[in-house]
Amino acid sequence: MKQRKVFSDIRIKAENIDQNILRRYIQFLRLEHSYSINTLDAYCKDLEKLLRYYSTEGINFRNVTLEQLDQFAGSLLEEGIQPRSLARVLSGVRSFYRFLVLEGELKNDPTELLESPRIGRHLPEVLSIEEIDAIIGAIDMSRLEGVRDRAIIEMLYSCGLRVSELCQLKISDLFLEEGYIRVRGKGSKERLVPIAQKTVSLLRGWLVERMQIKVKPNQEDFVFVSFTRGQHLSRISVFVKIKEYAQKAGISKSISPHTFRHSFATHLLQGGANLRAIQTMLGHEDISTTEIYMHIDTSHLRQEILEHHPRNIKGRAESDKTQ
């Protein structure tokens, strides 16, 4: 059985750099930024790309030039890496060199003028209320698994949870009488999220059925557990389930658990919710992250204007007459 990755498992594979520096860098990321294990692992893998390039080109990491860093970025583009992924890699490279300067390993930061590729803002896929209802309708509620999965989708949509937050949700985080749940988000930051009465009812129904499952030690407090493994669900399990229900519902959009989070925010904004309130409920540290939903809502408003503005209605009527 595959073991869950923990902090002590994180390594950076490189031969041309002191491993003590790399261990200190990982510790720096963990303590200074409170990154999750998955984020730490991603940073380390991105840095490995750079160090492998140095090894191939015979470059000493202490003496690298801006031109050489640009050539490294170019080599990744030639390999087919997308601009968005390249921007993430270069962000990690900057982080590493800022660390070296802070630690006194280098006097100057060679990445100060390193530019990332320009990438357009990606508007995430959003489901309509009818599509969400169709997905829910595809769940067989006569099965215990269906009771659990219905509660999962309601939690993702009505609370705007990340899939990792859902999988880590614990019974001790539920304050159903008060109408709130406690969510542990990125960087172990906690927030309180209101939960709708309908979702409370579904959650309570699932918790009753959950008592039939033989849960493994140290897994007793997790809300959503597997029937076969007796431990909390993985992100992949939730992803596969949602794909399955979307297919049954005839939804052709490419969706994931995160799609329900996007739909949650977009529908709140369309309903008149304050952007700051949405930011708080989503657990976004920066309001600019939440502002992407303003762009989604703008596209929705444009369609509304095209369909309902009297000038457009008149134009369509005249066009119909000429046909």
Q: Give the pLDDT confidence of 250-286 residue by residue, as tens digits.
A: 998 888 888 898 888 888 888 887 778 778 888 877 6
**Is the per-residue pLDDT at 151 higher than 90?**
yes
One-letter-per-residue 3-state SS of the chain: CCCCCCHHHCCCCCCCCCHHHHHHHHHHHHHHHCCCHHHHHHHHHHHHHHHHHHHHHCCCCCCCCHHHHHHHHHHHHHCCCCHHHHHHHHHHHHHHHHHHHHCCCCCCCCCCCCCCCCCCCCCCCCCCHHHHHHHHHCCCCCCHHHHHHHHHHHHHHHHCCCHHHHHHCEHHHEECCCCEEEEECHHHCEEEEECCHHHHHHHHHHHHHHCCCCCCCCCCCECCECCCCCCECCHHHHHHHHHHHHHHCCCCCCCCHHHHHHHHHHHHHHCCCCHHHHHHHHCCCCHHHHCHHHHHHHHHHHHHHHHHCHHHHHHHHHHHHHC
Q: Which segment of 88-102, 118-132, 146-160, 181-195 scores lowest on mean pLDDT?
A: 118-132
Backbone region of residue 109 per phi and psi (left: phi > 0; alpha: psi in -120 to 50; beta: other values): beta
Task: Please give the pLDDT value at position 251.
Answer: 92
**Is the per-residue pLDDT at 302 higher than 80?**
no
Task: Please give the pLDDT value at position 38.
Answer: 78
Q: What is the pLDDT of residues 31-52, one digit of tens each?
A: 776 777 778 888 888 888 888 8
Residues linked to residue 180 through DSSP beta bridges, in sequence order: 175, 194
Only one residue has tokens 């700051």, namely: 276
Only one residue has tokens 């640009």, namely: 70
Task: Please give the pLDDT value at position 118.
Answer: 62
Q: Which segment of 156-165, 217-226, 283-292 scores lowest on mean pLDDT?
A: 283-292
Residues linked to residue 184 through DSSP beta bridges, in sequence order: 190
Q: How far apart are CA 14 and CA 12, in angstroms?
A: 6
Q: Which residues are catalytic?
A: 162, 186, 258, 261, 284, 293
Domain boundaries, the chain: 9-102, 129-304
Q: How far apart are CA 305 and CA 150, in angstroms?
A: 35
Task: Give the closest residue to 127 by CA, choosing from 305, 266, 306, 278.
Answer: 266
Q: Which segment of 21-35, 165-179, 308-322 scores lowest on mean pLDDT?
A: 308-322
CB atoms within 10 A of CB 214: 7
pLDDT band at 14 (very low <50, low <70, confident <90, very high): low
- What's the pTM value of the predicted model, to 2 decimals? 0.57
Domain 129-304, CATH:
1.10.443.10
pLDDT band at 13 (very low <50, low <70, confident <90, very high): low
Summarize the confidence of residues 129-153 as an average pLDDT.
Answer: 94
pLDDT band at 6 (very low <50, low <70, confident <90, very high): very low
Residue 16 near residue 62 (C-beta atoms within 8 A)? no
Top-level CATH class of 9-102? Answer: mainly alpha
